[in-house]
Structure 1
Amino acid sequence: MIKQKLIESFSEEGTPAVSLHTLITKHLLALKAKGVAQGTYDDKTLAFAELLSWPGVSPVMPVAELKHDKVREFLDHIAQTRSGHRANTFRKHIVRLWNWAKRSRIVLGDCPWDVEMYKADRGDKYVPSEADFWKVYEMADQVRRPFHKLNGETEAQPHRKRMLLAYLHTGARRGEVFDLRWSDVDFAGQRIRLWTRKRTSGLEGDWIPMTEQLAAALKEQRLETGFREHVFINPKTDEPYAYGNDMVRDMCAVAGVKAFSFHAIRHLTASMLDKAGVPLATIQLILRHKSVTTTARYIHSLKDARKAVEQTFGGRILEMKKASSE
């Protein structure tokens, strides 16, 4: 009987009359219950929100009405206006939405939204120089963004300097600062706790030292947020930040430097610690890497490698040149 009702609820194409909004909501609730990382959850939410606002797509439209060509048109736009990598990320979220629904017996058949992957040559991640970072830092609180597109009102956002300092002094991942709560800031013990799911499937918190400069900045931030749970609040939404790479790109543009991401600051932190002579094991502790090999990749230091190849091959090249001239 139950099976028969399930079959009757499906259209002839094998997809139900459930709306896109309902399907996406069910999927996101399932992810929350599973304990998915907040950064992943926020990224999926962003992708689905942009898809639902795409011309020709409506939250109330049945799942079966969202055709392959419409999804391709949307993803083509993302690839052209942002990057192939970003389009592939959105594609992944959309395809996984269908696959989850299929496992949950909400839809039947192969995914009709499986667009081919886009060319995405990410190359090496750009890591800003210390000079460029401080240029952005000095201009951060001078950035003005439209608060309302119709009347052109603007507002200052002085918390941005404090946020940039938090990234630099902790080496935190983007989502770790966005999700930072006041319960994770210990002024008396001069330490800060960052939570991650990177090392295990569960959520783990690590206490790391908090510099005096960062402590002073966060005390100022405390006065601004009052009794709010999160340390940093997006003034546009009055909620914690979910996706902020556009924000840091805007700051880079105002400062006149090459755009970088919040995660690039994590690499810069590692490089600055290495330059200061901090042992690799200590840098690993600060960055909270499971493997010291991962930490080594963050440092971007070729001092030992350059010395080794110079000692091995440098003299031989001179000898070969001398021998060929004789």
Structure 2
Amino acid sequence: MIAAILVVVAAQAPADSGERVLYRDWCSKCHGADGRGVAAATTRLSVPPADLRTCQGSTAETERRWIGIVTRGGAAFGLSLDMPAFGEAATPEQIRAVVRYARSLCGESGWPPGELNFPRAFLVEKAFPENEWVVVEQGRGQKLVYERRLGKRLQLEGEARTAFDSLHRAFDGVTAAIKYNLWHSLEHRALATLGLEVTPPLGRQDLWEVEPYVAFGAVPVGALVVQGQIVSTWEESGGATAVSYRLGAGRQIGRLTPMLEAGWTVPTKGAAEQLLSFYPQMWVQLSRLGHVAASLGAELPAVGPEPRRPRLIAFVLWDYGDAPLLHGW
């Protein structure tokens, strides 16, 4: 009933209504005049309305996704049926105006926008801070990754690894990481992040290993997404042992994103050989909301000591900051 009333109100709104007036007429009955949300019991909604003043929630998604939800309604994205569709009652200009006003209710600058949250690749570390669980299968090795965003730009990460290539020592090791988004620009469609990974001598890892890195992402032209990373490897008692250069490119086509990455490792000490591998892959958005995704591809060795054989790689991720695992389908 409330959804029907809101659609009728939208149809009666003048085409030149300002964004504040549109928000008041369309959204304030559920989300409140200030965006904090009205109690579900008061509005007779099945779920509490979203708090639009929560910056992490309002900035994490793209404007295109917001426009899609307002245009087609919550059900089209696996969200609440209480969120009505305004597409037939409002103009695209009105919908864009009310979306931009709703996103402005965050009131804080410095949050990287969702337009810079590019699809996750196999090799390159994302420059965008995330809240994710990721399960990775790489040949006979497995990884479980937990990422936790803190505030606007900081992310903490923990990773546990196993390797079932023999009957003993299946536990491969753990890694802790931290990264901070140094710079982002929606105008330039790019961002850059500084990070640090630390691996203690556990499992099959014999020495402490520290890897500082710089990661970036950009859309240089059209819909082409480029992501890159430079990593320096420091080992206990050995100092700096290698520098790795990682670069990937892809283009999103609907719910699919084909990508190709290259990883080049250059030793800085000893007689170790350089390593070069390519990683063709296909990223797939599984849920309608986009908070669950998967990728399938391979590592194809090109340069390095033999034997080096191709390996299948796959992962499944859940962005728990967007929605519960079983929602959004």
| TM score, norm. by length of structure 1 | 0.26
| TM score, norm. by length of structure 2 | 0.26
Give the structure, 1 or 2, with the largest relative contact order (CA under 8 Å, sep 6 or more). Answer: 1
Structure with greater helix percent = 1
Structure with greater strand percent = 2
